[in-house]
Amino acid sequence: MAASPGPRPDIQSTVTVGHREFRALLAEFRRTAVLVPLVDGDTLWTEGWGGVRWICAFSDEAALARFAYARGAADREWTYCTMPGARLLDAVVPALGVPAGVALDAGSEDGTLFPPVAGIVPDRAAVVDGRGRAVRNGGVA
């Protein structure tokens, strides 16, 4: 039986470009202050999905307003705090004590997930594989 050929060059270049774009997006997120809605005035808004706790963060008030509208909650007051994305990934995610990541602009076409994998969050906060090793982000971050 013939060995299967490696990835087609066009697919490999697409993946490489995608990794580069994600690294740039992650770097920009880490440098940028984002809005994080609060519950009861002092608890960060999170949602559970897929066994992960997702901190909801928004790039601006318009993105938060679209999220509120989509949830049918545009008529209530949304309080939020502002913090750098780096603080969310490096300090807040590990402090939650459960697998957690950040959902930026959740529900929008431009939404992005920063999952709890090494290279995005500190190794101590990354999910682990069956051997107890931090799952890496496929070399992306």
Residue 55: the pLDDT is 96
Task: Report yes or no on 135 lying in a domain.
Answer: no
Rounded mean pLDDT, 21-41? 92
Rounded mean pLDDT, 35-43? 90
Q: Where are the alpha helices (DSSP H) in the chain?
A: 9-31, 61-70, 85-87, 93-96
Above 90 in pLDDT, residue 84?
yes
Task: Report yes or no on 7 lying in a domain.
Answer: no
> For the chain, what is the mean pLDDT?
84
Is 77 in a helix, a strand, or coil?
coil
Tell me what percent of the residues of the chain surpass a pLDDT of 90. 49
Task: Report yes or no on 61 lying in a domain.
Answer: yes
Residue 91: the pLDDT is 96
What is the pTM assigned to this prediction?
Answer: 0.80
How many domains is the chain built from?
A: 1
Residue 126: the pLDDT is 86
Task: Report yes or no on 124 lying in a domain.
Answer: no
Domain boundaries, position 37: 33-112
Task: Report yes or no on 50 lying in a domain.
Answer: yes
Residue 140 binned pLDDT confidence (cut-offs 50, 70, 90): very low
Above 80 in pLDDT, residue 130?
no
Task: Report yes or no on 44 lying in a domain.
Answer: yes
Task: Report yes or no on 40 lying in a domain.
Answer: yes
CA dist 93 and 101 (Å) reads 6
Joined together, the tokens standing for residue 112 give 């992005």
Task: Report yes or no on 90 lying in a domain.
Answer: yes
The total of other beta-carbon atoms located within 10 Å of residue 111's CB is 14
Above 80 in pLDDT, residue 16?
no
Rounded mean pLDDT, 130-137? 62
* Span 85-100, pLDDT tens digits: 999 999 999 999 999 9
